[in-house]
Amino acid sequence: MGKLDFWYEFGSTYSYLTAMRIETLAAEAGVDVRWRPFLLGPIFRAQGMDDSPFNIYPVKGAYMWRDMERQAARLGVPFRAPISFPQNGLLAARVAISCGDADWVRAFSKGVYQAEFVDCLSISDVAVISNVLQKCGQDADTVLEQASSDQVKSSLRAVTDEASAAGIFGAPSFTTKDGELFWGNDRLKEALEWAQKIA
């Protein structure tokens, strides 16, 4: 069976489009996907950017919002502009990292994206994240306490360093076990095909 790492950032619009579709497409392609939440902030800062490129370059940002509307409609994924951009995905990323490889990381991640890009909520709000956890059948207080541990904080830093070492500069990204990197929701199917081909 093919294997693919799916790297996503909770504040990223195009990561959302991938997260809502990758399970179905991966099942069709016979590829086992590992969900890898990480932070883009440190990666942007290492390149000299202290904000999303879509904010630093507003002409490109304006295009992105229109493209997201069109892509969401095309792919059948609901989409509303978030209340701010980019939202701070640190809390959500810590929770997702604290799950380890538990299956519910997928439901949780999709729940966070739904809160952000459909329900127009703030994903840095503890109450919003608690609610998503409860919908996943988790005990929110226990998970949130674990997510704030030094071990989880350090794991998230290590994952983000691993993303950087893999040449990742944006999200979503995909990496294969033979070292190929694919960037963007537009490369999802191609990345799955590659993973299947080398299986």
Nearer to its own copies, 108 or 194 (CB): 194
Tell me which of 66, 76, 127, 178 binds its own copies, using CB under 8 A. 66
Tell me which of 34, 63, 84, 139 binds its own copies, using CB under 8 A. 63
CB 108 within 8 A of CB 96: yes
CA distance 151 to 158: 10
Asked if residue 30 binds its own copies (CB under 8 A), the reply is no
Tell me which of 30, 32, 42, 62 binds its own copies, using CB under 8 A. 62
Asked if residue 189 binds its own copies (CB under 8 A), the reply is no
Nearest distance in Å: CB 45, its own copies: 13
For the beta sheet containing 181-183, the strands, ordered from the edge strand earlier in sequence to the opposite edge, are 31-37, 2-8, 173-176, 181-183
The answer to whether the Cα torsion of 11, 157, 167, 58 is positive or negative is positive
Task: Write the CB contacts of 102 (distance below 8 Å, at least 6 apart in sequence).
Answer: none
Nearest distance in Å: CB 77, its own copies: 16
Binding window for its own copies (CB under 8 A); candidates: 10-18, 55-63, 105-113, 148-156: 55-63
Asked if residue 181 binds its own copies (CB under 8 A), the reply is yes
Nearer to its own copies, 75 or 120 (CB): 75
Asked if residue 67 binds its own copies (CB under 8 A), the reply is yes
Nearer to its own copies, 32 or 190 (CB): 190
Asked if residue 85 binds its own copies (CB under 8 A), the reply is no
Q: How many residues bind its own copies (CB under 8 A)?
A: 20
Tell me which of 32, 190, 197, 198 binds its own copies, using CB under 8 A. 190
Instruction: List residues binding its own copies (CB under 8 A).
Output: 47, 57, 59-60, 62-63, 66-67, 70, 74, 167, 169-170, 180-184, 186, 190
